[in-house]
Structure 1
Amino acid sequence: MDLVIQNLQAGYGKVQVLWDVNLHLNPGEFVAVIGANGAGKTTTLRAISGLVKPTGGRILLGGQDLTGRNPSDIVRLGLGHVPEGRELFPLMTVLENLTLGTAVRPEARAHSAQTLAQVFTLFPRLQERQTQLAGTLSGGEQQMVAVGRALMSRPRVLVVDEPSLGLSPLMTQIVFGALKAVNDTGVAVLLVEQNVGASLKLADRAYVLENGQVVNEGTGAALLADPTVREAYLAL
């Protein structure tokens, strides 16, 4: 398996957010994590990336233990993270922001020209705007940069947090299409997304988080048809 989370516990200070979360991601798989605000979705991704230190459990990437490692080590091992809110450097150009994705992984630096060409193929608009300051881009264009920066590290697993947040329906469709195209190249994708319907249509499998625990899981199609999921998250 590309990613395995076993009995993960994590939180902030004395506030525990995750309680024995178990999930896995097979090679080349597209998996979604859905749930209400405050369910622990972002904390799960931040724990995987080392931005939040787990208080219990284990996280394995390609059989290597990530638990307690710092974020740069985790990137070197093959994890890319597209954070909620994008977290770009607004006074740096598009190209400079993208190049930062190669900073800590020697393999990424060695193949940076090839990967950059792939990112520009995925997002032609970024090639047109590569010398433009990131802070002057539209929200959708900034999301493209955030995805592209993560891809520049040449990850085996890409975790993506709320990519459609604040985007128009058209730009959401473009970003989701890009994530599917990335997944089609063999990169496993773990997606946290507020647009439950769209994410379940993309996902091979999905997990439902409530109050920091996995309460349901299944194929994307099965959860999309599940009356409980439809009532809780799709208003149907």
Structure 2
Amino acid sequence: MTQRQANPIQGQELLIEHLAAGYGKVQVLWDVSVRVGPGEFVAMIGANGAGKTTTLRAVSGVVKPTAGRITLGGVDVTRAAPSTVVRLGLGHVPEGRELFAHMTVRENLELGAAMRPEARDAQATTLERVYALFPRLHERAGQLAGTLSGGEQQMVAVGRALMGLPSVLVVDEPSLGLSPLMTQTVFGALKAVNDDGVSVLLVEQNVGLSLRLAHRAYVLENGQVVKEGTGAALLADPAVRGAYLAL
């Protein structure tokens, strides 16, 4: 297996302060404050409808906040266009993967480098790094993305985000529909990326696995942060265990 190469980009801080957002007249987020420090792995957990995905969409510029502030590496991106946020170093792995089914694995991956000049310049090297994380993608490089298994498609989605050389990676429900083995593979790659210095904000229904990996975590309920702490502390919290781990 090819030896994994270190990520040339260092993690930046992502700061979300008193965020409010929604869709039209429907407000989803009321007062969300989350910090991901440089090189941190932070998890965001909560029930369906709590506002986790909306938070990530606001960070990436897809949803425009109605109040609050978002900064990436100290730069205010509260109402920035998605293309601007990507150029500043954000990588977003969306829920549902959103691949181009009739393009090959390699073509989908290469699209991830399109928005940043430095990513385009480093495309060949970064592609090798992605293949080192996910050797199966190297084997499937010429295959149409729509013909892959769900787990392989999730690898492509993560790899595509990494092709942009992100300093902050936000990941939405990466284990959705995956087998336990494939979930471990994807989470192992996220940990490796974080070990290389990339800041990670993870939204995930597999609460136990998320909290074991996370340095810190936040619990969202009804569009608000109701708990925060280290991953280990929240994993041991009786209220969290009762609500999300059925223990």
Q: Normalized against structure 2, the TM-score is what?
A: 0.95
SS of residue paired to 1:118: helix
Partner of 1:33: 44
Q: Partners of 1:82 and 1:103 in 2: how far apart?
A: 16
Partner of 1:68: 79
- Determine if the alignment matches structure 1 residue 208 to structure 2 residue 219: yes
Q: Deviations for 1:127-151, whole angstroms, at most 9, x for unmatched residues? A: 0000000000000000000000000
Q: Partners of 1:144 and 1:7 in 2: how far apart?
A: 33
Partner of 1:156: 167
AA aligned to 1:217 is E
Q: Name stretches of at least 5 consecutive residues in structure 1 with no aligned partner.
A: none
Q: Among the aligned pairs, what percent are the same residue?
A: 78
Partner of 1:147: 158
Q: Deviations for 1:115-167, whole angstroms, at most 9, x for unmatched residues? A: 00100000000000000000000000000000000000000000000000000
- Kindly state the Cα deviation for residue 218 of structure 1 after the two structures are TM-superposed: 0.2
- Determine if the alignment matches structure 1 residue 96 to structure 2 residue 107: yes
Structure 1 residue ranges (4+ consecutive) displaced by more than 4 angstroms after TM superposition: none
Q: Normalized against structure 1, the TM-score is what?
A: 0.99
- Kindly state the Cα deviation for residue 20 of structure 1 after the two structures are TM-superposed: 1.3
SS of residue paired to 1:186: coil
- Kindly state the Cα deviation for residue 225 of structure 1 after the two structures are TM-superposed: 0.1
- From 157, 179, 182, give the equivalent of 2:190: 179
AA aligned to 2:242 is E
SS of residue paired to 1:57: strand
SS of residue paired to 1:180: helix
Q: Partners of 2:78 and 2:203 in 1: how far apart?
A: 20
AA aligned to 2:57 is R
